[in-house]
Chains A and B, each alone.
Chain A
Amino acid sequence: MSALYDQIRTVASEYPESRSAVLPALRLAQAEHGGWLPPEAFREVAEALELTPAYCHAVASFYDMFHLEPVGKHMVEVCTNVSCALVGAQQVVEAFERELGVEAGGTTADGEVTLRTVECYGGCGWGTVVSVDHRYREPVRPEDVPAIVRELRHAD
């Protein structure tokens, strides 16, 4: 059996019922598949947890942190909920769109960076909150954006 299978079984052993491990299992599978969940990921998770691939797909599609289409190597998420929006989140989104040359919701042509707008990330007092590869930067202002993009471009 694969390493992913073993990892999922280990996580599942923490719960009274193994189905409870479906979110951690999907997270492991997503990491294994470059940040998104292709059809084989659902087969792998289903096999390890004795569920069906369709069930795993149905669960994954409910949650915003699972991606059903390919994403970039890096993930930039800008909160545009009320508190951030009041202090200029849209200007931050537009600065990223300009610097990356991609619209929010898209991935740069070289497959490096996906830019998304997201609902409240819980950093409202220090808006605009931007999550870069799952680590929060707060606050981010439009003038901070070029440096963040440069950092991502030189991260590898």
Chain B
Amino acid sequence: MPIRELLLQGADERDLTKREEYEAAGGYKSLRKALGMERQAVLDELLAANVRGRGGAGFPMGRKASFLPKPEDTPKPIYLVVNADESEPGTFKDREIMLRVPHLFIEGVITAAYTIGAGTAFIYVRGEYLTEFEVLKAALEEAREAGYVGKDVLGSGFDLTIVVHRGAGAYICGEETGLLESLEGKRGQPRTKPPFPAISGLYASPTLINNVETLATVPKILEMGGAKYAALGVENSAGTRVFSLSGNVARGGNYELELGTTLRELIYDLGGGIPDGRELKAIIPGGSSVPVLNATEVDTPLDFDSMAQAGSMLGSGAVIVIDDRCCMVQLGLRVAQFYMHESCGKCTPCREGTRWMVQLLRKIEDGEATQGELDVLLDVCDRILGNCLCPLGDAAAMPVASYVAKFREEYQRHIDEGACPFGGGSSLEGVLAPVDQHHAHLRGQIEVPTHA
């Protein structure tokens, strides 16, 4: 069951960034339908659809929305915050949605805001997405002109302001409470939970935070009806997702598929397989934060339960294909460098642990590690896991521990042979991780003790 376009439907044939085109294709009808329904009735459709968050955590969207107090039960304003801070390595689907079907996304935002009774919605777009920001702003202006956004939306009595807010380059702001801090004008350091944002979020008010793709499904759910949407996909994984395919694959790009499609169908049937006559070595199925799968697991279906059963996660739907030229120690090092760079510094296990990981992996790669240091690496991973306020530390520890678990022999050879067995021929050889430009003068001098 390959391509199944629901969100990206029609985007090849029409310019759906234009309001007239989107309306001609049936756009904004779901919003009209929703505005004619009671808030609770819209929420019931979302609950019936059983749609799970598309950002990474996979929490059921309807249930999350149901945690908010009703507008009549709280003296505080209610906010909708959209997480468009797409930055999980390997992921580029929200960008495609904003660039190609911005009105669908905006329709979802308006509908969700109506459902929870939010008078203001903030869309937090990662700062690097400049073109996406411009496309979104233009579409939003068109929506305002047509009366879909603003005072008294389509004569319903519902008022909505939408503010598009640009981030400034920080992966952690994709974490919902880090995003809220950033939106409040602070360093994007995650908050302690509880209280959860549904109770005390933006400006300590009830806040619903959803990912771009999640909100873009809302008009489709109302169009089809929740029950019919829920029938798409497989059990516990309803609907379609836009999967981002990248790495050593012939045709990288975004593919919208029904959940439950296998990795093999995505990588080989749609992606054209592994180029240059190389062999599949490993697959990262849900963004760089999730545990790796090896080549024998290529028949795993892309759904929440199947991925969990395989010991990994569906995450953000970013499938990174790795061929046999890649040294798995170098992969671990590059992934750990990313999380070290992006750690916000608030929790010690993450701040210090990611630095230890980088240093240990560097030693292993250089053939200078002792046997004990491989155990220290796993120990450091273990001490990060579950010990931080947000999942960033886990997102470093889980994948690296999985590389060691699944490719232990390769790690062992680095230690036994005192050198990288790829002898300089790995696809990741020498790749330069970004230097924190605020500390460029410290380049190459950051050392941490390993106590090994």
Contact = CB atoms under 8 A, between A and B. Distances in A.
Interface string B75-90: 0010000000011111
A14 B183 CA distance: 12
Interface of A: 14-17, 19-24, 26-27, 49, 58-59, 61-69, 80-83, 85-90, 93, 104-105, 116-127, 131, 134-136
For chain B, which range describes its interface: under 10, 10 to 19, 20 to 34, or 35 or more residues? 35 or more
Contacts of B443: 105
Contact of A120 (B90, B131, B163, B436): B90
A122 B129 contact: yes
Given A105-B435, A122-B91, A124-B244, A135 B131 contact: yes
B392 interface: no
Given A105-B437, A135-B131, A59 B186 contact: yes
Given A120-B89, A122-B91, A136 B432 contact: no
A61 B438 contact: yes
A117 B432 contact: yes
A119 B171 contact: yes
Would you call the interface of chain B mostly helix, strand, loop, or mixed? loop
Contacts of A20: 165, 183-185
B185 A119 contact: no
Contacts of A93: 432
A122 B431 contact: no
Contacts of A123: 92, 95
Contacts of B131: 135-136
B442 to A, nearest CB: 11
Contacts of A14: 163
B111 interface: no
Nearest to A60: B168
B338 A15 contact: no
A116 B432 CA distance: 10
B52 interface: no
Contact of B91 (A26, A49, A64, A124): A124
A21 B90 contact: no
